Amino acid sequence: MEYQNEYQTRQQKLAKIKELGINPYPARFAKKNQVSDIKNLTDGGKIVTAGRILTIRIMGKLAFAHLQDWSGKAQVAIKSDEVGEEQFKLFQDLFDMGDFIGVTGEVFTTHKGEKTLLVKKFEFLGKALRPLPEKWHGLKDEEACYRQRYLDLIASEETRQRFKFRSNFIKALREFYWQEGFTEVETQTLMHSPTGASAKPYKTHNNGLDIDVFLRISLELPLKELIVGGYEKVFELGKVFRNEGFDPSHLPEHMSLEHYSAYWNFEDNMTFAEKMFDYLFATLKLNKKINIIGKDGKEREVNFQTPWKRVDFVEMIKKDAGIDIEKIKEVKELKKEIKNKKIEIEEIEHMGYGSLVDALFKKISRSNIVGPVFLYNYPVELQPLARRSDVDQSKVEQFQLLINGWEIVKAYSELVDPADQAERFKEQAEAAKKGDEEAQAGDDDYILAMEYGMPPISGFGLGVERLITLLTGQTNLRNVVLFPLMRPQEKV
């Protein structure tokens, strides 16, 4: 009821503003300074700035207010004998917390030592019809923060800093790639085939061509086709879409970075990954030792000092689960062994061999890894797009970078043999027929491109939001995404 009364009061103030001939939503304001400049200038410094009013305190013929813009917040003082009695009354009667105001004045320091702008004149720049959340105690409801991120940004300095960090991180990431001789490209979002990763896709229909298409689940295949076309070092930052559930480390729409370099193998990409992290930590001025909260809720220290440890994937599964996946190659036998070990995996009956080994790893080993650690020596069934090892044809040249139980990077020496690739796509299709929803789809157009010839290639994929989440001390990807997908609220 109180909220509704305030909404009505603000509507009445809006009507009064219009009656006075004041435009409550003007087209522009000649803002010359950031609000934070108020705190940085010496007394007497001239300021012309604008922002949102956070607080108002009226004391007789003097009003104090705090303004906020993207640079921060600072105090302004409006005195009746400076702006005139009529203007002071207008401010007193018609301005509310949440409104936008433009101010011109001089900096001074209050007797309490706070840098403040003494306002000489002001302009109305925008009426807020709804009150700010909880009278400036901020949003306490996590779901409300996701649904109304704009209110979270207004109320929380920590949230603003987190998203400033995200922007700076992506900027530094791009600068590193250009510095290393890579070319940035943009490839298509709508695909004929949902391939490049093991995930369930979103399917839609294009009316113009009258065909079904898929939202991409990976950036991979078009980028490798560009290597066929003559690019040698190429990268893309873009959204990928996977029709899967939500958990702290998974979102159906997320930012991915992928790069492909001709003439590299997966070990070159290990070296590149360490170099990238060293650059990012130095550029963003981050401490190499960071405290991160694990899945168990306990805080743990992650030391990003390079070089990082390398761990054999097959040996880790053998140690943690007591199952030698190097010897058990039949899916029925592996399922039987998992059940004998009393390891519970959901939907185990519908999984192919590769999906089953991956599920076993996630169930038994992944959450125990603090890292950073490189996992390598993967069975070929886990990665249909990776090159077989020359030493052992049952393995692929691949690594994953694990931090705090999360896969942050996946990279491998690319499969460039079109006959081998076609055969692996066929094996994945058989797994899909048996009910494996995450089996990778084939792509005839990609096989055609491969037949024109490919050099040695190594590819690299980084989960951008996962890394930002860890570096900002968060535990859920939604906290570093401005507007994560939510179920619509029921209308009352």
Same domain, 249 and 367: yes
Same domain, 120 and 183: no
CATH number of the domain that residue 457 is part of: 3.30.930.10
Please check whether residue 287 is in contact with residue 301, taking contact to mean a CB–CB distance below 8 angstroms. Answer: no
Distances (CA, A) of 392 to 4, 264, 335, 423: 71, 19, 24, 18
Domain that holds residue 28: 2-131
**What is d(CA 31, CA 15) in angstroms, rounded to the nearest whole number?**
26
Same domain, 120 and 191: no
The reported pLDDT for the residue numbered 136 is 42
Residues lower than pLDDT 70 in the chain: 1-3, 134-140, 436-440, 491-492
Same domain, 233 and 121: no
Query: Rounded to the nearest 5 degrees, what angle is found at the Cα of 56, between the Cα atoms of 52 and 60?
Result: 145
The reported pLDDT for the residue numbered 362 is 86
Same domain, 165 and 83: no
Please check whether residue 256 is in contact with residue 239, taking contact to mean a CB–CB distance below 8 angstroms. Answer: yes
Distances (CA, A) of 347 to 146, 359, 438: 31, 10, 12
**What is d(CA 124, CA 26) in angstroms, rounded to the nearest whole number?**
8
- Domain assignment present for 146: no
**What is d(CA 455, CA 414) in angstroms, rounded to the nearest whole number?**
10
Tell which of 95, 116, 131 closes a domain: 131
**What is d(CA 267, CA 458) in angstroms, rounded to the nearest whole number?**
9
The reported pLDDT for the residue numbered 1 is 55
**What is d(CA 224, CA 231) in angstroms, rounded to the nearest whole number?**
9
**What is d(CA 416, CA 429) in angstroms, rounded to the nearest whole number?**
20
pLDDT digits (tens, 9 = 90+) for 62-71: 999 999 999 9
- Domain assignment present for 415: yes
- What letter represents residue 60's amino acid? G
Same domain, 218 and 184: yes
Same domain, 68 and 163: no
Determine which helix (DSSP H) or strand (DSSP E) holds 430, and give its type and residue range: helix 418-433
pLDDT digits (tens, 9 = 90+) for 74-110: 999 999 999 999 999 999 999 999 999 999 999 999 9
- Domain assignment present for 57: yes
- For 17-44, give the DSSP string: HHHTT--SS-S-----S-TTHHHHSPTT
- Domain assignment present for 486: no
**What is d(CA 426, CA 439) in angstroms, rounded to the nearest whole number?**
11
Same domain, 168 and 206: yes
**What is the sign, positive or negative, of the torsion defined by CA atoms of 94, 95, 100, 105?**
positive
